[in-house]
Structure 1
């Protein structure tokens, strides 16, 4: 898989919701240590540790965790991770109440992960200095109230979270099937409470200069702005 210098995808196969899925957290190198973008569900920490060691790091090198949104498959393992690392937790201000336990997750059956305090509440346009250049927070609500994606203008790389996916359609029986369409696609309607806002968010991403995309579900895709514009037009039909 192609990677920008200092940005590493961490694909992990894990049991979640009664089935095995592959998730793709991302780690970004900075002068201070590592920024981890999303954690994964409960049980993901061992996989994170293995990946980081292969890169020459340990869990303790993570100083900042940036959460794209509060869904359990992104945040469920955070409490366990914080048992091993003294990291700052950051997410969009509209996601913070769900992560901290002030509100129940938008999706789910009431069985939630362990709440965790949020140290920094992010807003659109915030930039974090990394060895891959600035990492810019891009507000992409719709899949979740305060969903964010992360954009690296130096390398024209987008870490999309769940604003875009690359793992094909998910059928009603819960089984993943590879889509016949282009590998990069819009957010899945069945998991996106506010599809109108999600489509607007795809439009916001289409305005950026993107050459390649890293999706939490589907991993790295060698596609960017042109394909995202196509997705926006398809979703508007």
Structure 2
């Protein structure tokens, strides 16, 4: 794992980007995974993220055109809003869970949108739970973690006991989390189906995880033990 440090030893790089989102600034964490075919970008960020992604890629010795696959954990605007801008410059394949595809393609309006949706894009691959993608960091498994969104997915790399949690967990210590805890469950105010989201935390707790990357909060050196604590607390 590297945090935009130019190292290519693990094949996984977090890309923290601070952007204007609505009336505030947020820091989001797309993740880059290297494969023999090129780069997988996990989540594109909101509109306005493109230059931040480009800057990170160049610091790692890549260009936007090295991205061959964009994998969206779900359809929320802070994850998918910048995808259309990216696809104007890159001929990349778009993948997401089949339950998220209608929202991204424009067949359905985003669940948490206010009517001013981001530009829709076509989905090329509809993912299902258990699908594995080959990467230089070993196989990357799609783990269905619904609740925050109907088809939310997390990604698990068992060779490194690494979990890319998306929004199924957070690490930003913000409102609706466990205060200053380094890793917490999904934020209830942004999670329409909290009961399903809690069960998804249970799914993640069953994995062997040593390191976690959250879209909100980035990399934390916490894994299975902490995730089980979160699950037990949420079930109380």
TM-score of Structure 1 vs Structure 2, range by shorter chain: over 0.9
- Gap runs ≥5 in structure 1: 172-177
Deviations 1:34-80 (A, max 9, x none): 00000100010000000000000000000000000000000000000
Contact 2:178–2:184 (8 Å) recurs in 1: no
Matched, 1:139 2:144: yes
Q: CA deviation at 1:108?
A: 1.8
Q: Output the aligned Cα RMSD.
A: 1.3
Equivalent-residue separation in structure 2 for 1:146 and 1:108 (angstroms): 16
Equivalent-residue separation in structure 2 for 1:61 and 1:199 (angstroms): 36
- Gap runs ≥5 in structure 2: 4-8
Contact 1:76–1:114 (8 Å) recurs in 2: yes
TM-score by length of 1: 0.95
Alignment of 1:179-194 (within 5 A): 180-194=179-193
TM-score by length of 2: 0.95
Deviations 1:86-114 (A, max 9, x none): 00000000000000000000002111000
Equivalent residue for 1:118, pick from 110, 115, 123: 123
Alignment-derived partner of residue 234 in structure 1: 233
Secondary structure in 2 matching 1:150: strand
Matched residue count? 231
Equivalent-residue separation in structure 1 for 2:38 and 2:179 (angstroms): 40
Contact 1:60–1:86 (8 Å) recurs in 2: yes
Equivalent residue for 2:74, pick from 69, 75, 80: 69
Alignment-derived partner of residue 106 in structure 1: 111
Equivalent-residue separation in structure 2 for 1:147 and 1:163 (angstroms): 8
Alignment-derived partner of residue 202 in structure 1: 201
Q: CA deviation at 1:168?
A: 1.0
Q: CA deviation at 1:2?
A: 5.2
Secondary structure in 1 matching 2:146: coil
